[in-house]
Amino acid sequence: MNKKTENILELFQQINNIPRCSKKEENISNWLMKWAEEHELEAVSDEVKNVLIKVPATKGFENKPIIVIQGHMDMVCEKTPESSHDFSKDAIENIIDGDWLHANNTTLGADNGVALAFGLEIARDKNIPHPPLELLFTVDEETGLTGANALRNDFLEGKILLNFDSEEEGIFTIGCAGGRDTKIMLPLEYQDISDNESIYKIGVSGLMGGHSGGDITKHRGNANKLLVRTLQEIKEKYSFNIVDLSGGSAHNAIPRDSEATISFKSEHYEGIKEVIQKIEEIIKLEFSETEKTISIKLIKNDKNYNKSFTANTTEKVINLILALPHGTKEMSLEFDGVPETSCNLATLEIQNEKLIILSSQRSSKMSARDYLTKEIEAVAKLCKAEYKSGVGYSSWQPNINSKLLEHCKNVYKNKFGKDAIIEVVHGGLECGVIGAKYDGMDMISIGPTIRNPHSPQEKMYIPSLIKFWEFVCELLKSF
């Protein structure tokens, strides 16, 4: 490992020492401000804790255009069921395994802590020729692009933006999907659990999960949908009522785990167990190429319950979740292999005697995003559930005539002797929001290689760090 890679990883570990789940970025924001002060750099923080660090140009580049380097502070906080990690206080453990860096049964946070590490390393390395730089680090990208949406129109001066939130070295991203969330709230009716009923949990676990944009076409199971499919199979043979229900973790993560607590007559235990075993075998066969560790188990309940949903409510809950869509709805006609429109049935939880369901819709076409949202709202109406859809965020429409894109392509070809790949992505990027706020902003999204973001399997390819570093340095010098 060369010295520059060591420096970047050392900065990345410092960043990972600071808990920074979405909406809890105050400590990392304050750390960035202190870091800038220690390195005698001008820095400002706005009302939502976005940070802008200004790096003066090196000699001879003073009159060149300002370059904005941008990434987000927050990370998706996911862990395996066996992990005891506390995201509110524990540092993320960086583990080197050959050419890969991963964490200890949690998300790594390379999405997007690596952008912070690269930006800070560029700022402190006095040997890199570069124009004036604005390092823009935003909050809460993962749960709604809050930081980007809150940017003041006068916060940035630069008109050329390098977003460091892409996940494949050698690929230039020039467009992304827009998104919108819908929250469905179904009132629940309860009844007493009788003495002759048993209470058990049905747990769906062991799924890959992943990014609800980038991984939505990879035939990965949604634990919430598989759980309710299992409940429906049981319902066709045995009577039961739901007692409790929960699943998923975030709007932009495909659910890996989901569980329902149910009550039923004790004599039906063996029959229900057999139904679960059979549906588990069927689902394992359906996902045999992508989900190697699916588990659907009947587990003894360890909590005290005295009420369950009524039979009518149980039926309504199962039908509502079955009817809600999940997965890819349309593929792009302009870009092979890229979804145009999709949705993620993200989370289930019980709050104040209501079932709360969160669905996340994405599309490169805002009309398609909004139409899919109306379809989901219509399902809620049919079940007499309340619903609320957010305003959402805009897509980033690709500009194949971008001067920045052409410049980056030439620099990459001259540096490495091969062409970079140009793509659009189905995930959301802050470029769409920033571009709408700053008219004429020329943007591109780039980054080192990261696999399985938004899941505990997240890892970063260490050799890609130096190659990405060399490209960025060459690009900055070329301006």
Q: Which of 134, 140, 141, 423 is catalytic?
A: 141
Distance (Å, whole) CA 204 – CA 230: 9
Exposure string (b/e) for 40-51, b if CB count within 10 Å is 16 or more? ebebebbebbbb
Determine contact, residues 416/172, Cβ cutoff 8 Å: no
Instruction: Answer yes or no: 141 catalytic.
Output: yes
Query: Is residue 11 a contact partner of residue 94, using CB atoms and an 8 Å limit?
Result: no
Residue 282's identity, in one-letter code, is: I
User: Is 74 annotated in the active site?
Assistant: yes
Catalytic member of 25, 74, 140, 423: 74
Within 10 Å of residue 35's Cβ, how many Cβ atoms? 20
342 burial type by CB count under 10 A (0-12 exposed, 13-18 middle, 19+ buried): buried
286 in Cβ contact with 388 (< 8 Å): no
| Residues taking part in catalysis | 74, 141
